[in-house]
Structure formats: C-alpha cells, structure tokens
Amino acid sequence: MEFIDGAQVNDLKLIQEMGLRPYEVSKLVSQAFAEMIFKHGFVHCDPHAANLLVRPLPLSKRFIPGKRKPQLILLDHGLYKELDFATRINYATLWKALVLSDAKSIKETSVKLGAGEDLYALFAGVLTMRPWNRVIDPAVDHLVIKGTDSDRSELQMYASQYFPQISELLRRLPRVILLMMKTNDCLRAVNNSLLQGSSLETFFIIGKVSSEAIIEAKMSQRKSVLGWICLWLEEMMLEARFFGLQLVLWLMQMRKALSSC
C-alpha cells in the first residue's frame, strides 16, 4: 500500500536518468509476465504503461552509470485472471511452438484452446501480429516486428481483410484467452515504447519460460524412473536449443554494437 517513487515504464528519459537501461527494463517486464502466465497461472491483466513503474533495485550495489538493475512495480491490481492447469499448459505449449516455428503444435494447441480447425492460423497471427508465413518461418527473428511503415500498413491490410474472421475468432475464444491476448497487447506496447519495436530477447524469454513450465508440469505428473529420464533428456535438449538461440542473439547484438561504433 506504500507510495512508490518510480518512472512510468514508457518514460525513457527518466529511466535513463535513473541509470537504468531500457533494454534491461524490457527483459524484466517480459520475464515477470512470462512467469506469471506460464508458471503461476495468476496474471495481472492490465499491464499498460501507467500501471507499471520502474526504479533502481533498492539493494543494488554502488551506482555505476548505465549499470543499475531495475525493479518493476505493478500497480492497480483490479484485473487478475487465474488460468486452470490445462489452459496454462496449452497456452505455454502454443507460445513455445510459436517461438520455435512448430506448425503442427501451433495447430494442435490452438484447436485445444478453442480457435477451431479453420481459424488456428488467424489465431497465431493475431497473437503474434505476424502473417502465417512469418509465424512458421524457421528464422530465429521470425516474430520480431521492426515497426516500419510497411509493417504497419501490412497489419492494417490484414485487419481489414480478415475483419469477419477476426470477429468470429474473438466470439469463439474463452474469456480467459481474450484476457491473455489483451495482456499480450499491453506488453507489446510497453516493449515498443522501450525498444522502438519488438525484440528477439522477448521471444527468447517467452520460449524459455513456457518450455520450463511445460517440463515442470510433466515432471509433476510422471511417476516412473524411465519417464523421469526421458523428461530429463527433453530438458537437456531444450537447454541446448535455447543456448544456441542465445548465441545467435549475442552475435546479432555484437554485430549491431560494432556497426554503430
């Protein structure tokens, strides 16, 4: 109930004056909400910028400009939603499949979540704001929106072209999934204001946390030693895959840093 002195999450100028990096803030927001959605299933569904404050982590060490760690403060706890076990794991499986461009799993989980056999591709498109050919593109940055004028006009074109199908999809989906979509949109707007576009790191975090949640759920259900070993192997393979993605991310960041020198 205390009053918190912090910067609104989209106030780039104040965030930088506090010695915080917008990139770190964006990572923190993505991590916090991915854990809420995929691991805890108890979600703040109104994360617009006025409800998210940032300040330097109070116990962070000596001030080194540009190196302070951010702390996220969530305000306005008026709209929370609980995900039941099946919905949480299906939604995590869907996001893992979206991040890893797994068309078969996207279809299966979208149908389980209520999008229907005919509208699963549209559901994936509305969640990611990407056309289906980009959703299933195996490139690591396939979900990243550059925020260019052509990106914007492409989205507007799809929105007007598929208006009746989008209305039907929204009518079909359970209310809890609609609230997850609203949360997703708020977070996309927050990330846009912090990074002037979406970032690969955000999808990396979503993919990693959703995969961990799926493994944890399977672990809690498996009883036999063989089942446990299979899951352990699955976990190792996923770790290796995300380590590979992290390497690509570092290389891309290094290239960007070198080109701006």
Ligand X SMILES: Nc1ncnc2c1ncn2[C@@H]1O[C@H](COP(=O)(O)OP(=O)(O)OP(=O)(O)O)[C@@H](O)[C@H]1O
- Name the binder of 78 from ligand X, Mg ion, none, CB < 5-8 A by kind: ligand X
Q: Which residue number, 44 or 88, has a Cβ lying nearer to ligand X?
A: 44
- 47 or 125, CB closer to Mg ion? 47
Closest-CB residue for ligand X?
76
* Neighbouring C-alpha atoms within 13 Å toward the C-beta of 71: 10
**Contact residues: ligand X, CB under 6 A:** 3-4, 50-51, 75-76, 78
DSSP assignment string, 133-202: HHHT--STTTT-----HHHHHHHHHHHHHTHHHHHHHHHHS-HHHHHHHHHHHHHHHHHHHHHSS--HHH
CB of 75 to ligand X, least distance (A): 5
237-244: long-range contacts (C-beta < 8 A, 24 or more apart)?
A: 238/211, 241/100, 242/204, 242/207, 242/208, 242/211
183 or 210: whose CB is closer to Mg ion? Answer: 183
From the list ligand X, Mg ion, none, pick the one residue 4 interacts with, judged by a Cβ distance below 5 to 8 Å according to partner type: ligand X
d(C-alpha 155, C-alpha 242), whole Å: 29
For the CB of residue 71, give the shortest distance to ligand X in the complex, in Å. Answer: 13
Beta bridge partners of 74: 52
Is residue 41 within 8 Å of residue 88, measured between CB atoms?
yes
Task: Report the SS3 class of residue 59.
Answer: coil
Q: Which residues bind Mg ion (CB under 5 A)?
A: 51, 76
Report, in Å, the least distance between residue 20 CB and ligand X.
17
Indicate which residues carry an active-site annotation. 46
- Least distance in Å: CB of 77 to ligand X? 8
Q: Of 51 and 198, which has the nearer Cβ to ligand X?
A: 51
